[in-house]
Amino acid sequence: MKRWLARLGLVLGATGLALVMAELCCRAAGWGSPTSADDLVVEWVPSDAFEAAPWTPPPQGLQRRDLGVVMRPDWSGSITWRRATDGALLLEQPVRTSSLGLRGGEHAPTPEPGVFRLLGVGDSVTFGQGVAADQTFLAVAEDLLADQHRVELINAGVPSWDLRQQLRWIEHRGLALEAQLLLVFFYVNDLVPISYPDPDHALPRLSLEAPAWARGEAGLRRHSWLFNKLWRTVERGRLGAALLEGYDSEVELIRARSSQAQVADRYRDLAGVCADARQACGVVVLPSFVPPGADDGADILDMAAAAAAEAGLQVLRLDRAVDGIDLADRFVLPGDQHPSARAHRALGQALARQLEPGLRTWEAAQPRPLGND
């Protein structure tokens, strides 16, 4: 009996020593800090920022997979980022929408004579999630171009929009704004439709929040870096398996579910809509904002650019615009891979440079007012 107790003591002692060493290694390497921004809770306050698009059927059963959403007109509130460990507020960004449900100020139904109106359609990157309205790359480009030109750049980015929803909005609302140029800003995840599953078959709620016994002032969640590292690894694995259906990453899911032909079909639809309305349209390829070392889907960006060009759309490439910015400065927060204000500025500068030649050509073709002889 004493021998077994001695062996048990040795095992427990060795295990405890191993855990202590693992804890020290995690702290030395910076893995699993309970005070880091790795685990975020992002909320819209109030929560009614979005509404079903009026041109879609009521969400019944699996029809939710085709549900389109728009931002609520004249909405005022904020997006908040809180740390999951203790609920501390890390970032709060006020948001206001116009009567058209777009971010920024009001716009006349049609552009003023002599004013070049550009309509930018996209997702949360175009919207500028995490930065102020005047810090988005469209606002930056407008400010730069306005020094020498009469321009108006309208931000029609909506978080979570995919290519289907962007095209629907263009058909039902975008064309009516009579922009001289309509640009669809492509982000790598725009190829995979946002799915709204049947509530009876919805995915289980998954969270990076630890169980109750591990939280609180004395809990492992607040004091053990090793526990946090292990918990995040396990939970993110479960989340990835459930949401990505076995794929190793979101980019791998996009790659597996997309093909050149499918993307070309999307852009041919866009080109057809623009041609029918005699609307000049193009596609802008944005960078992939992913964590360091992650798959950035460069082949997907190339595929989208090629498909858009094949459909006869003008293509602008901004996917290398932020290469000169340190990875630590590219993101809103370490746990949120939306572009920072600095990254938006780099994108806006690159966009303005590429728009400048076409803008000068357009201005030169405008009728000049008759002078007094």
104: domain CATH number is 3.40.50.1110
Rounded Cα–Cα distance for residues 255 and 265 (Å) = 16
Rounded Cα–Cα distance for residues 341 and 350 (Å) = 14
Cis (ω within 30 of 0) for the bond into 59?
no
Rounded Cα–Cα distance for residues 146 and 144 (Å) = 6
Rounded Cα–Cα distance for residues 295 and 145 (Å) = 34
Question: Which DSSP string do the residues of 342-371 spell out, in sequence order?
Answer: HHHHHHHHHHHHHHHHHHHHHHHTSPPPPP
| Model confidence, pTM | 0.79
The alpha carbon of residue 127 and the mean position of all alpha carbons in its chain are separated, in whole angstroms, by: 8
Q: Is residue 79 part of a domain?
A: no
Q: Which of 305, 302, 309, 313 is nearest to 273 (CA)?
A: 313
Domains of the chain: total:
1
Q: Is residue 180 part of a domain?
A: yes
Q: How far is CA 260 from CA 90, 130, 158, 275, 299, in A?
A: 40, 32, 25, 22, 11
Q: Is residue 147 part of a domain?
A: yes
Rounded Cα–Cα distance for residues 163 and 314 (Å) = 17
pLDDT reported for residue 82: 83
Q: Is residue 52 part of a domain?
A: no
Q: Is residue 223 part of a domain?
A: no
pLDDT reported for residue 214: 60
Please name every residue paired with 336 in a beta bridge, in sequence order, or none if there are none: 333
Q: How far is CA 87 from CA 30, 92, 229, in A?
A: 21, 13, 19
Q: Is residue 173 part of a domain?
A: yes
Q: Which of 40, 20, 13, 17 is nearest to 226 (CA)?
A: 20
Rounded Cα–Cα distance for residues 129 and 170 (Å) = 21
The alpha carbon of residue 44 and the mean position of all alpha carbons in its chain are separated, in whole angstroms, by: 15
pLDDT tens-digit profile, the chain (373 residues): 677 777 777 878 788 888 888 888 877 776 666 655 456 778 888 888 888 777 755 444 333 344 477 899 999 999 998 876 667 788 999 999 999 999 988 999 999 999 999 999 999 999 999 999 999 999 999 999 999 999 999 999 998 888 888 998 999 999 999 999 999 999 988 887 654 433 333 333 334 555 665 656 666 766 777 777 776 676 655 544 444 443 446 677 778 777 788 888 999 999 999 999 999 999 999 998 876 567 788 899 999 999 999 999 999 999 999 988 887 788 888 767 799 999 999 999 999 999 999 999 998 988 876 554 4
Domain that holds residue 327: 100-198+246-364
Q: Is residue 35 part of a domain?
A: no
Amino acid at 270: L
Question: Which DSSP string do the residues of 111-156 spell out, in sequence order?
Answer: PPTT-EEEEEEESHHHHTTTS-GGGSHHHHHHHHHTTTS-EEEEEE
Q: Is residue 128 part of a domain?
A: yes
